[in-house]
Amino acid sequence: MRAALQILDDDGLPDLTMRRLAAALDVQPSALYWHFPNKQSLLAELADRIVAPAAPPRPAEGSSSSNTRAEAGALRDALLAYRDGAEVVSSTLALGLGSSAARDRLTAAIIADGYDADLARRAATALLHFVIGHVSHEQQRMQYDSLGVVVPDLSLSPQRDHDDASEFAFGVDLLVGGLEQNGSPRSPAQTHRPGAH
């Protein structure tokens, strides 16, 4: 795991191959298959380690939706801490393998902000998709910037002064805003569009 995180951070996810990892450990590639059934499970464990330090400052009651915002920010920080961190978590998230910790933590934060558990779970899913998508985008742009690739800036985009952090906060605010108006804190569970099913 330590060696894998090293390779990931130094050279990126595409270079994190079983053969390269084996070489870093002075071992034959086949040796890794005694410790992990396959590459996917190795990545899943890596994802857990990346998400793990995403502990939010502290649970605070009262201030509106502050726990949710803090948790989203902490998760972003955790993903940004390793190169291609978002991509690693994204790849394992869909498999049901690992990284449910991220969703669980977001859910807990939303509940701590006073929302019903079922609503919280669904909102956490939406928030998680946004967070991973956004950070993934950030990191891929970083990679292309560092490679000197001229990424064609969106042709008709006049100002590009919103930096990543504020754009991230904007997205979180949209979701939190929707949350606050949909099921307001301490209200019973309520579906968003009655009769939609």
Partner DNA sequence: ACCTGAACACCGTTCAAGT
What per-residue string of b and e applies to 77-109 under the rule 16 or more CB within 10 Å gives b?
Answer: ebbbebbbbbbbbbbbbeeebbbeebbebbbbb
What per-residue string of b and e applies to 156-186 under the rule 16 or more CB within 10 Å gives b?
Answer: eeeeeeeebeeebbebbeebbeebbeebeee
Q: Does 34 bind DNA (CB under 7 A)?
A: yes
Please choose which of a copy of itself, DNA, none residue 67 contacts, taking the beta carbon within 5 to 8 angstroms, the exact cut-off set by kind.
none
Greatest alpha-carbon pair distance for the chain in Å reads 61
List the one residue from 17, 151, 184, 185 that touches a copy of itself (CB under 8 A). 151
Residue 68: count of CB within 10 angstroms of its CB: 28
- Residue 110 DSSP SS3: helix
List the one residue from 3, 6, 24, 39 that touches DNA (CB under 7 A). 39
Question: Measuring CA to CA, how many Å separate 84 from each of 12, 15, 100, 105?
Answer: 6, 11, 18, 21
Please choose which of DNA, a copy of itself, none residue 96 contacts, taking the beta carbon within 5 to 8 angstroms, the exact cut-off set by kind.
a copy of itself
Q: Does 180 bind a copy of itself (CB under 8 A)?
A: yes
Q: Does 175 bind a copy of itself (CB under 8 A)?
A: yes
Distance in Å, CB of 97 to DNA, minimum = 13
List the one residue from 9, 12, 24, 27 that touches DNA (CB under 7 A). 27
Q: CB-wise, 103 or 105, nearer to a copy of itself?
A: 103
Distance in Å, CB of 128 to DNA, minimum = 26
Site for DNA, rule CB under 7 A: 15, 17-20, 26-31, 33-35, 37-40
